[in-house]
Amino acid sequence: MSKEVILTGLRSNAEFHLGNYLGAIKPMVRLQHELKGEYQLNMFVPDLHSFTTQIDHSRLYQQTIDNVRLYVAAGLDIEHPDTYVYRQSRIPAHSEMTWILSCFTYFGELGRMTQFKEKGGDEHDSTSAGLFIYPVLMAADILLYGAKWVPVGEDQRQHLELTRDLAIRMNNKFGQELFTVPFEWNKQLEFVGIDKGVRIRSLRTPEKKMSKSVEDPAGTIMLSDNPDEAAKKIMSATTDSVGKINYDWGKQPGVTNLLQILALSSDTDQDKVNQQWVGKDSYGELKTAAADSVKDLLETVQSKLKEVDSAQIEAKMTADEAKMTTVADSTLAKVQAAVGLRRK
């Protein structure tokens, strides 16, 4: 691969919500359009990650297709020659590389992962081993393709750091550059043009991020929600008793979340939105503005989604999986030789 690789994962085990769209889908589509021709973009589907928590297995395959369709509806050009869309499960090298890397990963490193602690809960006897080991699979996803750029949210920061540590550890141990080391998290954010990860909060509990895994339908806006119903959720969002609009995640997370949603859903700079609203005392007017913006966004996305052809999506993925298998197998063979599984 002659061009530097940007790699990002498209989740497949659940439907996308507004937080996914504003925090991941839109930035990645924007990045593709800005950097087409300069970088290679790997948009892979981490469907093997889906098993780390409870899912509806009967929906997994179709949900994968539907989620890629949403990226296309958001403006992703999947026919661009530098963009590859592929399923993790269709490339066996992901699984074998995970095993090799896991043998050079320390138990304590995985035990310190915040995602494992949060999703696994206190009773680890009933937590799947997959949830514990999946940061190593994520490392394999990245290192197989020599990706320098992996723009992830704050919740995946530790996993990116583990990937860097494993790449450096393996390179040093075997005295050769087996892996390209991805850039550190702060540089990743600088690359995509933001100073911190975007985390859209729950409308009902703004101290927590918006998440489908949380049983909080009133606090989460799904991209399939009726636009009018979504607007009602915004109008019922939790705020506070301060009485003044301020952009302050610590003291006014609910109001700040509305300001963030308004800026991102309307493609307006956050500072400009803050200049318009900070200091005012009408939470109702802010909610109305955010509700109208989200309603317009959902109407546009849902309309464009109807035009996306699922057959085109599947054909694209099948073709790209063949190409990416060649790349991944080459990296795996080099590592196999280094660790003694192949003749050097």
Q: Which of 209, 287, 295, 316 is catalytic?
A: 209
Residue 204 within a domain: no
pLDDT value at residue 54 = 81
Check if the beta carbon of residue 245 is closer than 8 Å to that of residue 255: yes
Residue 161 within a domain: yes
**Helices then strands (H, E): number in the chain?**
14, 4
Rounded CA separation 190/169 (Å):
26
> Are 238 and 266 contained in the same domain?
yes
* Band (1; pLDDT cuts 50, 70, 90): low
Residue 203 within a domain: no
**Is 18 a residue whose pLDDT tops 70?**
yes
Residue 127 within a domain: yes
> Are 152 and 300 contained in the same domain?
no
Residue 330 within a domain: yes
pLDDT digits (tens, 9 = 90+) for 214-243: 567 889 999 999 999 999 999 999 999 999
Residue 187 known to be catalytic = no
> Are 160 and 22 contained in the same domain?
yes
pLDDT value at residue 330 = 97
Work out the end-to-end distance of the chain between its first and last CA atoms, rounded to an integer number of angstroms.
22
**Is 194 a residue whose pLDDT tops 70?**
no
Structural domain count, the chain: 2
> Are 190 and 222 contained in the same domain?
no
> Are 297 and 223 contained in the same domain?
yes
* Band (155; pLDDT cuts 50, 70, 90): confident
pLDDT value at residue 123 = 62
Q: Which of 36, 208, 212, 304 is catalytic?
A: 212
pLDDT value at residue 2 = 81
Residue 295 known to be catalytic = no
pLDDT value at residue 136 = 97
> Are 55 and 33 contained in the same domain?
yes
Residue 117 known to be catalytic = no
Residue 208 within a domain: no
* Band (36; pLDDT cuts 50, 70, 90): confident
CATH number at residue 172: 3.40.50.620
Determine the structural domain holding residue 50 and report its residue range.
5-198+310-339
Residue 211 within a domain: no
**Is 199 a residue whose pLDDT tops 90?**
no
Region 91-115: what's the mean pLDDT?
Answer: 94
Rounded CA separation 248/245 (Å):
9
Please name every residue paired with 36 in a beta bridge, in sequence order, or none if there are none: 39
Pick 335 or 26 by higher pLDDT.
Answer: 335
pLDDT value at residue 196 = 58
> Are 229 and 281 contained in the same domain?
yes
> Are 140 and 257 contained in the same domain?
no
CATH number at residue 247: 1.10.240.10
Q: Which letter, b or e, does each residue of 31-45 get, where b requires 16 or more Cβ atoms within 10 Å of its Cβ?
A: bbeebeeebbbbbbb
